[in-house]
Structure 1
Amino acid sequence: MSSAGTGEVLTDSYGRTVRSLRMSITDRCNMNCIYCHNEGHIGHSREMPVDTIVNIVEAASQFGIDRLKLSGGEPLIRKDLEDALTRLPDMRDLSLTTNAALLKGRASSLKDAGLDRVNISLDTLDPDKYRMITNSATGSFERVLDGIQEAIDAGLTPVKLNMVLLKDLNDNEIGDMLDFTRSYGGKVILQLIELMDFRDIPQYRINANDVEQSLLSVSSDVRVRELHKRKKYIINGAEVEFVRPVDNTEFCANCNRLRVTADGKLKPCLLVSDNMVDVSNASKEELPDLFRLAVSKRVPFCRS
């Protein structure tokens, strides 16, 4: 389905135009990672029906929002995901964040339904350490590896591997993860992610500046992504990005994303929960004004 759009764009009072929507379609998950922030949403929530998901995305597309990332919880828990994907308006980029344990056997149907690519959480290449970080069942690690390969075979590329850096736990595996990424011949990109300490685990916080300097010292090229002004390091043919959301004014200054919680609330900022706008029962006619209201509430969390 396509959407003509209105020509109006949503720009907040700090001059940041919203171009991207990140939507949690469930708060259920088959894992319980030690660092999980549940998209910044606290407390139990219900899942939006497919009709509500479609209406929200259609309203967003009217304002030129053309990038959509679906997340959870674990979005692949929903059996109606393909149905939702087939009904969404056209997007420049339609992606999914998943732990990939449920991806094997489903990647092709997701691609056929309109999904462009996947982000896959993989914090370690050690199966025992993986179980410890994710609190997952035996065999999950192997299913994730199978899911990565199936995503590549289905064309859900580039696959982005999300590796949350955890001090003294996996921060010594960056080189191994780069080798793993490199083995897929350019179809996999590594994203190193600074820990956002929602679960009070400060012992795992890494020194982000040290990581940045380490990447810079071994890279042959450094590029800046137009979308988020985020640096991409090219290291012996592997591509790696470092996502630094903590105490980072540049991250906030270039934020162009509006979030939707699993129970249908527009969330202007991941780190703020007292300014959300409920759209769960809104009509198609009401949604545009509610989007305008949510964007009017956007304030950079990290202000200089």
Structure 2
Amino acid sequence: MVLIDPYGRKLTGLRMSVTSRCNLRCIYCHHEGEVSVGREISREMAVNVVNAASRLGIRSVKITGGEPLMRRDLEEMIAGFREVAPGVEISITTNGVYLKERAERLAAAGLSRANISLDSLDPDRYRRITGAKEGDLERVLDGIEAALVSGLKPVKLNMVVLKENECEIPGMIEFSRSNGVILQLIELLGDGPKGDLESVERRIEAQADGFLTREMHRRRKYFLDGAVVEIVRPMDNTEFCAHCTRLRVTSDGRLKPCLLRNDNLLEIKSTDPDEIERLILEVVRRREPFFRGANSDR
């Protein structure tokens, strides 16, 4: 079965915020589009959402937060996902501060891959951007190594391009090359001190050996002498909407059709997979592109 919304977009992925808690205070954080704080979806509900979604053709689950590693039961949750949906790929987006101690257990539970936020290799700049404590950057770097050793693949580094850290991009490319990870340069979502991603991409394109265009969101992946760099533009991007394949679940247990809207969510009131399946079908019917130019013929 394949879920298809009223605009012809296939739904293949689930992005689940398992907690709104976080140990950092990044200056660019959009809280996964959530308006409530201090909420946390139950493990039982999370597992049964994945159960229901997999029955309807969802093939991947991205675990997000807040910071998902704030949950002590995350390994058990992932094992639960694997049990009810053995064919689903499970990945995580994390700031990496707590990853070193848990990467091996997460991989053993069924985690396949990891996106790790890393906005700077300079300790002072990293603290200014993320609100981290002294020593946290070193813990993140250790967490990246632990993820690689544990067999999580691919490991991607998420760098939000800001005025303050734009100067570090060449060093980040070299870091990604030497560590065998993929660097994602991400446009700032919303207002704030954006870096000049257009100029950055032009310089990267001029140096690249070649590039591919990923089907989802039509983002470009550049190859630079062993390094891989992806350019991610979620804002003001009709391609992002036109090719969105994800349904979101908030940390307070609501189905969210669109990251940028909070007026069409559907509360999950039951842990029964059959009832959750019905709700997923309903929320798919509610989906429409935030940027309506994404499908001009509809």
TM-score (norm 1): 0.92
2:107 counterpart of 1:100: no
- Aligned partner of 1:247 among 236, 245, 248: 236
Paired residues in the alignment total 290
Aligned twin of 2:51? 58
2:60 counterpart of 1:71: no
SS at match of 1:97: strand
- For 1:225 and 1:56, how far apart are their aligned partners in 2? 28
Aligned twin of 1:115? 111
- For 2:132 and 2:64, how far apart are their aligned partners in 1? 18
2:182 counterpart of 1:189: yes
Q: Is the Cα–Cα contact under 8 Å of residues 97 and 118 in structure 1 kept in the other structure?
A: yes
2:93 counterpart of 1:128: no
Shift of 1:280: 4.2
Q: Is the Cα–Cα contact under 8 Å of residues 186 and 233 in structure 2 kept in the other structure?
A: yes
Q: Once the two structures are superposed, what CA deviation does each residue of 1:265-294 show, in whole Å capped at 9, x if it has no partner?
A: 111110001111111435222111210111
Q: Is the Cα–Cα contact under 8 Å of residues 58 and 88 in structure 2 kept in the other structure?
A: no
Shift of 1:26: 0.3
Shift of 1:235: 1.1
Task: Give the structure with the larger helix fraction.
Answer: 2
- For 2:129 and 2:123, how far apart are their aligned partners in 1? 10
Aligned twin of 1:277? 266
2:246 counterpart of 1:257: yes
% identity of equivalent residues = 51
2:11 counterpart of 1:18: yes
Over 3 Å counting, the alpha-carbon distance change for 1:263 and 1:45 in structure 2 is farther
- Aligned partner of 1:230 among 219, 223, 237: 219
Aligned twin of 2:296? none
Shift of 1:209: 2.9
- Aligned partner of 2:28 among 24, 28, 35: 35
Q: Once the two structures are superposed, what CA deviation does each residue of 1:191-248 show, in whole Å capped at 9, x if it has no partner?
A: 0100002xx42xx123443333222111111112234432100012100101101111
Aligned twin of 1:86? 79
Q: Is the Cα–Cα contact under 8 Å of residues 21 and 37 in structure 2 kept in the other structure?
A: no
TM-score (norm 2): 0.94
- For 1:257 and 1:125, how far apart are their aligned partners in 2? 31
Shift of 1:45: 4.4
Once the two structures are superposed, the pairs formed by residues 122-161 of structure 1 within 5 Å of their partners are 122-161=118-157
Aligned twin of 1:172? 167
SS at match of 1:166: coil
Cα-Cα RMSD: 1.3
- For 1:260 and 1:45, how far apart are their aligned partners in 2? 15
Q: Once the two structures are superposed, what CA deviation does each residue of 1:86-116 show, in whole Å capped at 9, x if it has no partner?
A: 1111244210110110011211100000000
- For 2:187 and 2:39, how far apart are their aligned partners in 1? 29
